[in-house]
Structure 1
């Protein structure tokens, strides 16, 4: 069951990436990011209010937000710091790079998760899983060659380093999620609510320096319907992902790889919607990534 939940998370993540590309297009990144996370928080706020005043109702529908000790809040703050840093880098990169380059690079995240799962959680990969992961990495390198034809040089482009850093931080957060869900026994909605709350606070601190004192930047911000859509789709994806992690048999390295199937939506639909170049050539490494994910599922 956890694999199917992972595929549902991938579906919502793919749609989330399409909306995110439109949200940051010719726009100020930090207020867009605050708008997306804030939208997710507002979506979860009724659950928190219901859990406080109508606990029996939220428990009956399986969406009760439980009370947690302050020490657990500290662990959630760490996750918020990891993901806020990852998103800031990723949003900046997505603003300056084609979605058909950014998304495949982010698909290298399972490789970092793969190593962490072995070292931290002692998950044991099979031979086909090894092949699948390295096929994903090889396909990402093929994307680098295609990117050069679009004037994107991977060694000198600072946005490439930004998206690589975002990928590493995101993978670290993914490994941390297993600890939060399984070791601290947090429910998906409890983790999502407090994570959104602390991330909003962190972003408000950032914007108090980068946006609020600068009228020209505030004027440059453009509101689009895709901004709240990003937040809603992300929360839907996270819910299914955390539900999958609740299964004691779930392997984080496989779940992370399954989520990468989101690139099918980002590369195919994203390339058509945003009319990006070299779409046909990008289908070759795309097939390699999908084959790598397929090998992991098959194994």
Structure 2
């Protein structure tokens, strides 16, 4: 069952990436990010209020947000800091790079998760999983060569380093999720609500330095319908991902790989919508990544 939940998370992540590209294109990145996380928080707020005043009703819905000790709040804040850093880097990179380059690099996240799962959680991959893992990495390297044809030098472009750093931080957060869900026994909705709350606090500090004081930047911001859509779609994806992680048999390395199937939506549909270059050539490494994911799942 946890694999199917992982595929649902991938579906919502793919749609989330398309909306995110539209939201940040030619726009101020930090307020867009605040808007998406704020939308996620507002989406969950009725469940938090319901958990206080109508606990039995929200428990019946399966969305009861439980009270947690301050120590657990500290653990959630660490996740919020990691992901806020990852998102700031990723949104900046997405603003300056094609989605058909950004998404496949992000798909290398299983590389870091794979290693972390072995070293931290003692998950043991078999031969096919190793083959799938290296096939994914090799396919991402092919994307770098295609990216050069679009004027993107992977060694000199700072946004490439930004998206790589964002990918590493995102993978670290994924490994940390397993600890939060399986060791601290947090419910998905409880984790998502407080995670969104702390990310908003962090972003408000960043914006108070980089955006609020500057009138020209405030005027440059454009509100788009995709901003709240990004937050709601990401919350939906994370909910199914955390539900999958609640299964004691769930392997974080496999879930991370399953989530990469989102790139079908991002590369194929996104390439058509945003009319990006070299779509056919990008299908070759795309097939390689999908084959790597399949081998991991099949094994």
Q: Into which bin does the TM-score normalised by the smaller protein fall?
A: over 0.9
Equivalent position of 2:193 in the other structure: 193
Distance of 1:62 and 1:93 partners within structure 2 = 37
Alignment match, 1:77: 77
Residue of structure 1 in register with 2:288 after alignment: 288
What is the DSSP-based 3-state SS (H/G/I as helix, E as strand, rest coil) of the residue aligned with 1:68? coil
1:127 CA drift (Å): 0.6
Matched, 1:12 2:12: yes
Query: SS at the partner of 1:247?
Result: coil
Partner of 1:251: 251
Matches within 5 A, 1:150-165: 150-165=150-165
* Aligned equivalent of 1:110: 110
Deviating runs (4+, > 3 A) in structure 1? none
CA RMSD of aligned residues (A): 0.3
Q: Which residue of 1 aligns with 2:177?
A: 177
TM-score, normalised relative to structure 1: 1.00
Task: Give the superposition deviation at 1:111.
Answer: 0.6
Aligned equivalents of 1:23 and 1:61: distance in 2? Answer: 32
Quote the residue 1:270 is aligned against: 270
Q: Hey, what's the Cα distance between the residues in 1 that align with 2:274 and 2:59?
A: 43
TM-score norm. by structure 2 comes to 1.00
- How far apart are 1:61 and its partner, in Å? 1.2
Corresponding residue number in structure 2 for 1:218: 218
Residue 252 of structure 1 and its aligned partner are, at CA, apart by 0.1
For structure 1, the residue ranges without an aligned partner over 5 or more in a row are none
What SS does structure 1 have at the residue aligned with 2:27? Answer: coil
Deviations 1:121-169 (A, max 9, x none): 0000011000001100000000000000000000000000000000000
Partner-residue secondary structure (3-state), 1:293: helix
For 2:58 and 2:122, locate their aligned partners in 1 and report how far apart those are by CA, in whole Å: 36
**1 CA distance for matches of 2:134 and 2:33?**
32
1:49 counterpart residue number = 49
Query: How far apart, in 1, do the equivalents of 2:212 and 2:28 lie?
Result: 12
- Distance in 2, Cα, partners of 1:7 & 1:211: 37
Q: What is residue 146 of structure 2 aligned with on the other side?
A: 146
- 5+ residue gaps, structure 2, are none
In 2: Cα distance, 1:10 partner to 1:60 partner: 27
The alignment of Structure 1 onto Structure 2 pairs a total of residues equal to 299
